[in-house]
A and B are shown apart, each in its own frame.
Chain A
Amino acid sequence: MSVERDSGATGGHAWATLASLGVVLALWWGVTASGLIAPLFLPGPGEVLVRLLDLAQHGFVGASLLQHTGASLARVGLAMLFAVITAVPVGMAMGLYPKVNAALDPLIEFYRPVPPLAYLPLMVIWFGIGETTKILLIFLAIFAPLAIATASGVRRVDPNRIRAAQSLGASRDQIAWLVIFPSALPDILTGLRIALGVGWSTLVAAELVAATRGLGFMVQSASQMLVTDVVVAGILVIALIALAIELVLRWVERRFAGWAGQG
């Protein structure tokens, strides 16, 4: 392994990925088809697939699968938008000015380790069970890691790069946005990738508690009605979307910060 280059699941080791997926699928099919586990506890892969198609066509608890998915994605998307607009400038200021850092770092570090579900009840009391609460919750989950990643990226900028820009006549603002920001971009995008992972899981959890639509709500309702195949189908969709978000952000990293880590 030390000599082999780590090429991930897409390189020459795709067979290993496929094999492990195949084994899990076969086990799943085996224990359900043989009747070892009752469908109430774990429906077979075939049933889940059929249910997935049915969900796409007819929906569940008053909304189609697309509507549930759309509701969840819209929340994450809005929260991410607000977080990027606020956390990146805040992180830049924290990285550039020790005073700003001294003022904000304790606040961020105070709430960051608290699990979002712990302060969700408080937010429900303050903002109700509407969209505000859920978007705010996910915003807070994304904000802290993104601001911290931005600040540390800013601090790691090569001082000579800033000096070079100064002696080439760059103003303070130009240095901030044309030198420091692009230098920190790889760190910012890594922070965003991690933050969105946290954000997605937080959102789905939030929808278990307070929602009328969304993937988390769909899974929770199905569980209360003991419709296990919808639960499993919902979990699969949630996982696939998390994977898709991860892949999109990796592509963004390669596209916009591909220079980092290359000679």
Chain B
Amino acid sequence: MARLSVENVSVTYGGKRGPVKALADVSVEVASGEIVVALGASGCGKSTLLGLMAGFLKPTAGAVQVDGVPIAGPGTDRAVVFQDDALMPWLSAEDNVAFGLQMRGFKQAERRAAAREMLAQVGLEGFAGHAIHEMSGGMRQRVGLARALAVKPDFLLMDEPLGALDELTRERMQMLILNLWQRSGKGIFLITHSIEEALFMASELVLLSPRPGRIVQRYQTGFARRFIAGEPVRAIKADPQFVAMREELANAILASEENEVTHVG
């Protein structure tokens, strides 16, 4: 059981026209077995929040901790999946998945076995020797996912991992991630700008609003667990409760943007 917590964090960038506040007093917690989804329009600081958790950047104020210990930087306990896959295109799918193990000095045979197992987990058995450029966007994201899982992290941090995929691939990937989540019991933090995706995948949903990025609403949602319990994805997404919440979220986003307009005006 591990706990990744962001406590009262603010981030201010030095911009050309004075400091820009990217995040203001944000608190989020991701525990093992939870899937926290951050939803918000662009510019609301979602990626900054993920960058803090990953250790790519430091907070201006507040603390980011794992089990009460402040994080010192990026680490294999918090693996990251990127929207633009960020794979090494000169390596095969297998070598990409084994990259983290190679960095830690595992022997070739061990790396190979682990990489094949991870590829199988994301449904890519038989693609070990494929070059990255031979794979579709969805397959590349699966390789990215397998690469992150291969280092056995406690947390998976996913920065709009499905943003560039077509609708059908996207839904298949949502189901894959939820299945992996259930099997591994890891804590997942996922960023998206799709309301439906957020609602379907979250155990906890935080709604962010831009300028400065802050959390305006938190929802405990049960749709991800209903999918894990065996309910079909189409039935869940057509559930009147799901549809009603989707509308509520859309309104909440709209309202927060109108607020912003009146602030500025």
**Chain A residues near B (Cβ < 8 Å):** 158, 160-161, 163-171, 174, 178-179, 182-183, 185, 257, 259-260, 262-263
Contact = CB atoms under 8 A, between A and B. Distances in A.
Given A169-B76, A259-B132, A259-B133, A163 B99 contact: no
B55 interface: yes
B88 interface: yes
A38 to B, nearest CB: 57
A260 B89 CA distance: 8
B103 A165 contact: yes
Given A167-B78, A259-B131, A259-B133, A161 B55 contact: no
Nearest to A171: B103
Given A259-B132, A259-B133, A167 B74 contact: yes
A236 B86 CA distance: 47
Contacts of B56: 163, 166
Contact of A163 (B54, B89, B90, B103): B54
A174 B89 CA distance: 17
Interface size class of B (residues with CB under 8 A): 20 to 34
Contact of A167 (B54, B88, B89): B54
Contacts of A169: 75-76, 100, 103-104, 151
B36 interface: no
Contacts of B133: 259, 262-263
A165 B79 CA distance: 10
A162 to B, nearest CB: 9
Nearest to B137: A263
Interface in B87-126: 87-90, 99-100, 102-104
B130 to A, nearest CB: 12
A163 B132 CA distance: 19
A163 B81 CA distance: 10
Contact of A168 (B55, B73, B99): B99
B227 interface: no
Most chain B CB inside 10 Å of its own CB: which residue of A164, A170, A183, A260: A164
13 contacts: A164-B82, A165-B103, A167-B74, A167-B76, A167-B78, A168-B79, A168-B100, A168-B148, A169-B103, A178-B103, A259-B131, A260-B89, A262-B133
Given A167-B79, A169-B75, A171-B103, A259 B86 contact: no
B84 interface: yes
A176 to B, nearest CB: 13
Most chain A CB inside 10 Å of its own CB: which residue of B74, B78, B104: B74
A165 B99 contact: yes
Contacts of B58: none
Contacts of A168: 76, 79, 99-100, 103, 147-148, 151
B80 interface: yes
A257 B84 CA distance: 20
Interface in B37-81: 54-56, 73-76, 78-80
Interface in B13-52: none
A174 B76 CA distance: 15
A70 to B, nearest CB: 35
B78 to A, nearest CB: 6
A174 B103 contact: yes
Contacts of B82: 160, 163-164
B179 to A, nearest CB: 23
Given A182-B90, A262-B133, A163 B100 contact: no
Nearest to A175: B103
Interface string B221-243: 00000000000000000000000
A168 B148 CA distance: 7
Contacts of A166: 55-56, 73-74
B241 to A, nearest CB: 37
A71 B161 CA distance: 57
A167 B75 contact: yes
B122 to A, nearest CB: 16
Contacts of B132: 259
A161 B91 CA distance: 13
B86 A161 contact: yes
Contacts of A260: 89
Chain A to chain B: the 3 pairs with minimum beta-carbon distance, closest first? A168-B100, A166-B74, A160-B86
B265 to A, nearest CB: 36
Contacts of A185: 90
